[in-house]
Structure 1
Amino acid sequence: MKKFSLIAVMCLLVSVMGCNQSSTTTDQASDTAGSSATDDHGHDHPHDGETDHSVEGHGHGVGPHDGTIADWGGGKFHVEFTVNHDKQQATVYVLGSDEKTATPIDAESIELAITDPEMQVVLSADPQEGDPEGKSSRFVGTHESLGVVQEYAGTMTGVVDGTPYSGDFSEEAHDNHEH
């Protein structure tokens, strides 16, 4: 029942705060198509230049850490998901509206919910060099299931200045694992 309640709350957050009020992974997965860069496996991804968050299904490029980007708050923030399978570790970077600039937030942790295999991971603040005292733009957590080499999809949630944010992501469009 606890797992169901958490999923229900996360779905509510996604529907309220998600990218352009989109609440489905399918919509968010289409958000990841149409952006461009060459990932660490040499795959080319089309890029449309500047991201227009007013357009439903807008694209996000590969993040500055070769991760998959999701929207928080209609483009106010972006979060970048990366995984290191060898360390069974996920790292999420908080970025600004430009999808590139590290944006430290006042939070001790954010939550990662992966859909397959189903897992919940609390990512703790791990400030990067240059992050001000008490804020972090990087969050790290481990889970044994992250050792599985596959395409992950899920939701990243957190609270910034009392406002809850949530964003769906899918690696399928990016194929960008760290090995």
Structure 2
Amino acid sequence: MKLSTSMFTLFVAANVLTFCGCQEKAMTPPSTPDAPAHSDDAHSEDAHVHADGSEHAAHGAHGAGPHDGTVADWGGGKYHVEFTVDHDKQEGTVYVLGADEKSPVPIDAESIDLSISDPVMQVTLTAAPQDSDPEGKSSRFVGTHEKLGVVQEYAGTIVGVIDGTPYSGDFKEESHGDHDH
């Protein structure tokens, strides 16, 4: 009986390790030659493949967005968010974008949350629909905080909900060299 218990324990341990190994691989799928390439050649270096097979730049390596802001993933590349700041107005703006990192995606939300790590602040950004957004939806969210008047490179997290699904994306501004941020 002792041998059976030991074999059973070994069997369970092996299956647990196998399961964990499979899960890890599922979260980071290998790059395949037939995966669709990202249309932006600037993203070819440091690219990774998402679970849906699409290829995107590594997190934090997106480059400037359509509003010259910092772009982050929301939902593994299904959506993106672009953070911009107007230091004079002490105002932060986040644009919700599609998988192409350019097209606005209006969402049914009254607000999204912005957390900045240094200086530490939490800002609720309220819907500020763009002219092209349909009634009751917004692809732009704006909020103010006195600490956004500090001219520096910001890093933080943007959190929101689309169709009942929560999304979160980390971003880090990097100097573009051609303007003050």
- Residue 103 of structure 1 contacts residue 137 of structure 1 at CA under 8 Å; is this kept in 2? yes
Gap change, CA 1:21 and 1:107, over 3 Å in 2 = farther
- Residue 83 of structure 1 contacts residue 178 of structure 1 at CA under 8 Å; is this kept in 2? no
Give, in whole Å, the separation in 2 of the partners of 1:57 and 1:158: 21
Partner of 2:111: 109
Q: Report deviation, 1:130.
A: 1.1
Greater RCO between the two (CA within 8 Å, min separation 6)? Answer: 1
Gap change, CA 1:112 and 1:146, over 3 Å in 2 = same
Q: CA RMSD in A?
A: 2.7
Matches within 5 A, 1:37-116: 47-48=42-43, 52-54=48-50, 57=58, 59-116=61-118
Give structure 2 stretches of 5+ with no counterpart.
1-25, 29-39
How many residues were matched structurally?
138
1:127 matched to 2:129? The reply is yes
User: When the two structures are superposed, what TM-score results if normalisation uses the length of structure 1?
Assistant: 0.69
Q: Report deviation, 1:82.
A: 0.1
The amino acid that maps onto 1:48 is: H
Give, in whole Å, the separation in 2 of the partners of 1:176 and 1:115: 24
The amino acid that maps onto 2:114 is: L
Give, in whole Å, the separation in 1 of the partners of 2:179 and 2:27: 28
Give, in whole Å, the separation in 2 of the partners of 1:149 and 1:128: 26
Deviations 1:84-142 (Å, cap 9, x if unpaired)? 00000000000000000010000000000000000000000000001001100000000
Partner of 2:14: none
Amino-acid identity (%): 68
